[in-house]
Amino acid sequence: MRPKHRLEPLLNPAAIAIVGASSNPARIGGMPIAHLTKFGYAGQIYPINPKYREVFGLRCWPDIEALPAAPDLVVLALAAPDVLPMLRRCAAKGVRAVIVYAAGFAEEGEKGAALQAELQAYVATTDLVVAGPNAMGFANLNSQAHTSFASVFNTAPMQAGRGSVSLLTQSGNVCAAVYAIARRLGVDFSHFINTGNEACVDFAQYLEYLAQDAATEVCMGYIEELRDGPRFIAAAEEFARQGKLLILYKAGETDKGSEAVRSHTSALAGDRAIYQAAFRQLDIIQAHDFVQMAQLAHLAGYRHRSAGKRVAIITISGALGAILADKFIAAGLEVPTLPQALQDQLRAGIPDYGMVTNPVDVTGNVVNDPGFVRTAMRALAQSDAVDCVVIYAPGYLLDRMADDLCAVSAQYPRLFVAIDTGAAQTREQLRAGGVPVFEDIGVASAALAPFLLWQERRRHKRWRALRAQAAPQHQALPAVLDEYTTKQLLARHGVPGAGERVATTADEAVAAAQALGYPVVLKVCSPDIAHKTEAGGVRLRLQDAAQVRQAFDEVLSSARRYAPAARIDGVLVARMEAGVAELIVGATRDPVFGMTLTVGLGGVLTELYQDVSHRLLPVDEAIAREMLQELKAYPLLTGYRGRPHADVDAACAAIAAFSCAVLALGAQVAEAEVNPLLVRQQGQGVCMLDALLIPA
């Protein structure tokens, strides 16, 4: 058996002490005790306060030293200055874990930051697990171990049975808000966790606990900033490996939003696009809304049914079918036209003014022929042309179909989903029968689309498999990193170079040009000059020896004027190349996720339209192809409007080779870029026109 996780005493304690206990259930020292007693926690509860003999009918202890045994967990309802002395006393007593409510640490200026550093330094010398500070506390809804002062447990209805959805947020208020919404939808919880300042335990450590926690099958999370990227990635991979579902909302979706988050947590919000790429590669569903997140948690209960992105829509109204198709397609799903044989089967029970293509409009007539519903649903449950069936029928019409839907759902694994904008009596029957029910079209598509796309992606676990294999050969960085040596290095990993030579005299330059063939390009070759054009260090379209000689002199003199102290290794002579398109292929080090790869078409419009694709490394040829296909400008590579087809295969191979090169260089490199990578016509390959490596 696996040993217990070190957060176990924090999140599943057998005995809890509350220092600063109060008999007032509205105060932070009273509320957790009120919850523990009211909701039936079976473990030991030790209120501690020298002012009281008894609170909530429990014996109150004068101090921690007086307790008959060391509790697993101590909750500190104390002000910031009193925290550290009490931590020392907890450690002396043999306590395993502590929750610190107090604000006044890193979120509050320099003085608070110093106090937090002191706390961290002390805890590092002990075995204590310390949550917070500036946290609202936790709740284990299966054991009813309540350690929070969240008033939401007084207002939202408590679940009747066990739950398997955990909530993990970097804000106490968000934790409470999402809990309230999800409870209204009937989501049953395992853990309620908010992380506060994460002085000693960060988001990724809680996530790691939940990945191992047998009671947790789904986690809804809210992130402002990740502190430990590798640990987060490992925890997310464990979720995926176990088929558990991770739904995350990342704050900072616009710049103003990011700014507010920055002030709030004194932390930089990571780059939106990188988070998005990472979530996708890690099989995480990214939510953008609390209601959507809660609906996803609800849907997650149906994740073992068979589903994917091709949806059949069944309605009693052509208009509503069209609206649903609109929403689904806009959200990335497919609404494929049904095969003719299936259409013929459906037509047998649908009047002429109905539709059978998809959306299927069975018309209001369906009520007169109940046998047809079961036949139609059975046919849809068996068809290879769709992955999921969505039925829109308001109130009483859904009620008439409910028995048939449940019967078909019991017989076949395919996911059926119902949308009822009326007031069907059979909603609970359907949900229990394996058919989730939504009350609104917009809400349904906002939750269904990412859920079905997640189901679809689970079939394609390429990246995580690739990552497991990747063990790159270490490669030392050359001493001098000019354009020529950089290209040579990348070329050794398989990124194709162009024909080019370094010349140190005009004669050598002419000889190189003649060997390569005119027209040629001359570029100054220096590890110290990154912006060669600005330095006057580039001459294009040179047609003969005379032009090469003149250019050689101009390039060197311009470069020397521009950067007198620069080391100049000579002049690069290269064939003047032409192709179908130019790509930019770059790698940058994200502070959270490590090396990430970016691909886009070169040029100023790509920047204005933000038309780029990101992935965490490694990237193989198949992932490179996905990245190119994601670009809006991708048609420029595939014969758009009579243009020649570009050598996409060679481009993908070059991108994968670039990924290998960057992994091999490891921590030595801060940034790497091929810009542009010239893509020639199909069959004619690609080549680097320029390349850059910035050491770490």
Which 140-199 positions form the footprint of a second copy (CB under 8 A)?
151-152, 155, 170-174, 176-177, 180-181
CB 438, CB 419: distance < 8 Å: yes
Which is closer to a second copy, CB of 142 or CB of 363? 363
Which is closer to a second copy, CB of 52 or CB of 562? 562
Quick check: 264 binds a second copy (CB under 8 A)?
A: yes
- Please identify, among the stretches 108-116, 338-346, 410-418, 450-458, the one whose residues bind a second copy according to the rule CB under 8 A: 108-116
d(CA 142, CA 648): 54
- Please identify, among the stretches 290-298, 581-589, 650-658, 660-668, the one whose residues bind a second copy according to the rule CB under 8 A: 290-298
Which residue is associated with the tokens 């001098």? 480
**Inter-axis angle of helices 648-665 and 483-492, nearest 10:** 100
CB 579, CB 679: distance < 8 Å: yes
Quick check: 600 binds a second copy (CB under 8 A)?
A: no
The count of chain residues that interact with a second copy, using the rule CB under 8 A, is 80
Backbone CA torsion sign across 174, 176, 179, 183: negative
Q: Quick one: residue 239, left, alpha or beta (phi over 0 = left, psi -120 to 50 = alpha)? A: alpha
Which is closer to a second copy, CB of 275 or CB of 412? 275
Which 477-516 positions form the footprint of a second copy (CB under 8 A)?
none
Q: Which of 122, 205, 129 lies closest to 168 in space, CA to CA?
A: 205
Quick check: 254 binds a second copy (CB under 8 A)?
A: yes
Quick check: 139 binds a second copy (CB under 8 A)?
A: no
Taking the complex as a whole, the smallest distance from the CB of residue 221 to a second copy amounts, in Å, to 13
Taking the complex as a whole, the smallest distance from the CB of residue 667 to a second copy amounts, in Å, to 32
Quick check: 604 binds a second copy (CB under 8 A)?
A: yes
Which is closer to a second copy, CB of 23 or CB of 358? 358
Taking the complex as a whole, the smallest distance from the CB of residue 253 to a second copy amounts, in Å, to 4
CB 141, CB 189: distance < 8 Å: yes
Quick check: 394 binds a second copy (CB under 8 A)?
A: yes
d(CA 554, CA 488): 26
Which is closer to a second copy, CB of 228 or CB of 611? 611
CB 155, CB 219: distance < 8 Å: no
CB 268, CB 262: distance < 8 Å: yes
Which 518-537 positions form the footprint of a second copy (CB under 8 A)?
none
d(CA 41, CA 144): 5
Quick check: 289 binds a second copy (CB under 8 A)?
A: yes
**Cα Rg, the chain, nearest whole Å:** 31
Quick check: 263 binds a second copy (CB under 8 A)?
A: yes
Which residue is associated with the tokens 């609104």? 440
Quick check: 636 binds a second copy (CB under 8 A)?
A: yes
* Residues 6+ away with beta carbon under 8 Å from 158: 39
Of 18, 73, 102, 261, which one interacts with a second copy (CB under 8 A)?
261
Of 228, 253, 369, 403, which one interacts with a second copy (CB under 8 A)?
253
Which is closer to a second copy, CB of 62 or CB of 364? 364
Quick check: 591 binds a second copy (CB under 8 A)?
A: no
d(CA 350, CA 364): 10
Which is closer to a second copy, CB of 168 or CB of 516? 168
Of 228, 611, 630, 649, which one interacts with a second copy (CB under 8 A)?
611
Q: Which of 621, 601, 618 lies closest to 659 in space, CA to CA?
A: 618
Quick check: 2 binds a second copy (CB under 8 A)?
A: no
Taking the complex as a whole, the smallest distance from the CB of residue 212 to a second copy amounts, in Å, to 27
Which is closer to a second copy, CB of 237 or CB of 253? 253
Of 79, 605, 667, 696, which one interacts with a second copy (CB under 8 A)?
605
388-392 and 415-419 beta bridge pairing: parallel
Quick check: 632 binds a second copy (CB under 8 A)?
A: yes
> Residue 53, Cβ neighbours under 10 Å: how many?
10
Of 442, 478, 494, 517, which one interacts with a second copy (CB under 8 A)?
442
> Residue 505, Cβ neighbours under 10 Å: how many?
11
612-616 and 669-679 beta bridge pairing: unpaired
Which 306-365 positions form the footprint of a second copy (CB under 8 A)?
316-323, 325-327, 329-330, 335, 352-353, 355, 357, 359, 361
Which is closer to a second copy, CB of 30 or CB of 618? 30
d(CA 68, CA 550): 92
Of 54, 344, 440, 553, which one interacts with a second copy (CB under 8 A)?
440
Q: Which of 146, 136, 48, 152 lies closest to 100 in space, CA to CA?
A: 136
Of 62, 422, 591, 639, which one interacts with a second copy (CB under 8 A)?
422
- Please identify, among the stretches 61-69, 427-435, 473-481, 635-643, the one whose residues bind a second copy according to the rule CB under 8 A: 635-643
Taking the complex as a whole, the smallest distance from the CB of residue 488 to a second copy amounts, in Å, to 30
Quick check: 227 binds a second copy (CB under 8 A)?
A: no
- For residue 255, give both structure tokens: 């710049």
Quick check: 255 binds a second copy (CB under 8 A)?
A: yes
The secondary structure of 169-212 as a DSSP string is ES-HHHHHHHHHHHHHTT--EEEEEE-TT-SSS-HHHHHHHHHH
CB 602, CB 582: distance < 8 Å: yes
- For residue 93, give both structure tokens: 């007593």
- Taking CB under 8 A as the rule, which mask of x and - marks residues 639-658 in contact with a second copy? -xx-----------------
Q: Which of 472, 493, 477 lies closest to 668 in space, CA to CA?
A: 477
Quick check: 368 binds a second copy (CB under 8 A)?
A: no
Which is closer to a second copy, CB of 340 or CB of 609? 609
Quick check: 302 binds a second copy (CB under 8 A)?
A: no
d(CA 273, CA 261): 17
Of 635, 639, 670, 696, which one interacts with a second copy (CB under 8 A)?
635
Which is closer to a second copy, CB of 468 or CB of 605? 605
288: three-class secondary structure by DSSP? coil
d(CA 677, CA 72): 59
